[in-house]
Chain A
Amino acid sequence: MKFIPTWLHRLASPQHFFGDIKSWIMWLYVLGTIGFLVGSVWGLAFVPPERYQGDSFRILYVHAPIAHVAQLIYISIAVAGVVHLVWKLKMADVYMSAAAPVGCWLTALALASGMIWGMPTWGTAWVWDARIVSTLILLFLFFGLIVLRRVVPNPTRAATALSILAIVGAINIPIIKYSVEWFETLHQPASIELFGDIAIAPVFLTPLFINIASIYVLAAGFILANMRYLVVERNASMTWIQGWIRGQSQ
């Protein structure tokens, strides 16, 4: 696999990953926190109220980035599942186990913030709507990934089962995305398309992009921190972990 850069190849080794990643995590936490604070303060205090929703639209600045990143995390787990099945990379399995709880919490948060937003705008916290139900299924898929890892005693079989569930469950992601177009729904259609028009006025956009970038950065930090824990847990007998336990390394 000559196309993989040396630094990435190095991180595929648990020992190098453990040694190199701590400073990355700190930087991701610092950058993500600053970005999230700037984006949120901007969105809460320096953007005018929206014409139809008034001030309640400000929930957009947490709801949309969280929901978007939660879906991206699921896609990344499915990709890691393919990598695990094809190349049997240990770190792909570690990634799946580390990313699933982060995705699960972010999906729960996307649903909760959506429910809060629904109260003033739709007059109800919950409707059995295609977008909301498919996001609820995403939450169950994340639960499934977490539970599967715990209930299958053989780690190799657990990783294979996790990979298969992640890949099969990825069918839900386009359903979430296109649910607002395929079905009659209360949820508004996508306002930002990667290769299409942006239906949001520019004055509202900057804090949204800042918060999307910040949640990406923070989620990467959370996943790497979880991976670092799992690397220690799964390599406890190794000399380099024993050295760390005795305080001979960071």
Chain B
Amino acid sequence: MGSLELTQGVVNAILLSGTLALVAIGFSIVWGILNIINIAHGAFIMLGAYVTYWLFTLFGIDPFLSIPLSMITLFIVGYVIQRYLINLVIRAPLLVTFLLTFALEIVIINLATFFWKGDLRSVTPAYSGAGFTIGAVQIPYVRLGAFAISLLLTGLLHVFLTYTKTGNAIRATGMDIDAARLQGVKIAQSYALTFALGSALAGAAGSLISISFPIDPTMGGAYTLRAFLICVLGGLGSIPGVMLGALLYAFIEVFSGIYAPGLKDAIALFVLVFVLIVRPTGIAGKAFYH
């Protein structure tokens, strides 16, 4: 394998890490703040992808422009699901919420398959195949755009959590519920908002994925697994942790695709086990949202 292939691989991995960070970040805040492993996260990503697909197919709306709509839609979906469903079992053991979100995933996927059929679909704007080259390295516009938007949204989330009163209340809730309540934080509201934000970010990730890859109702499961691996790799509870985990995972995915296709998940899990042995808190450790 030549140095060109290597360079192209590195560029691909970096571009992919942006989207993967966005895939994982919503999963991570929900896990970190609500202590819920949201199995339905991938289904939310799928819904976001379909929002973009339908807006493009029916109304010709540019997929990048549909991202805010996809986020708003998923924000509402997430808020309602948390407030009226997950909130009922919020104090229950992890296994109960695990099962509930698992069931939720199945329901969402079944409904999507029922209404939209199981066909693979693609969002194909005029520029979808276009790109530019630096030296001999190819950089497709859509991948670069997805990377930039992922970084932008991740940055905005960081700003929101760090510099706004509501963001601080969310972080406080994740660190010590009772102490947060003593400051007057309404926990149910904090939770619903966090879940809604996590869902909105999943929606954005789905929109970006739909521009680069074909979509179908069952696409989400693979992304839930990726989000889980990235969170554990990077360490739960911080944005830099997720980005680090996403970068590492993107390199594993891209390079195992070159050297050992088919072993991608095995290699990722092997690295995961190794990281957990060496550093049980994940690479960045448990920081609880900054």
Same complex for A and B? Answer no
Q: Which residues of A contact B (CB under 8 A)?
A: none
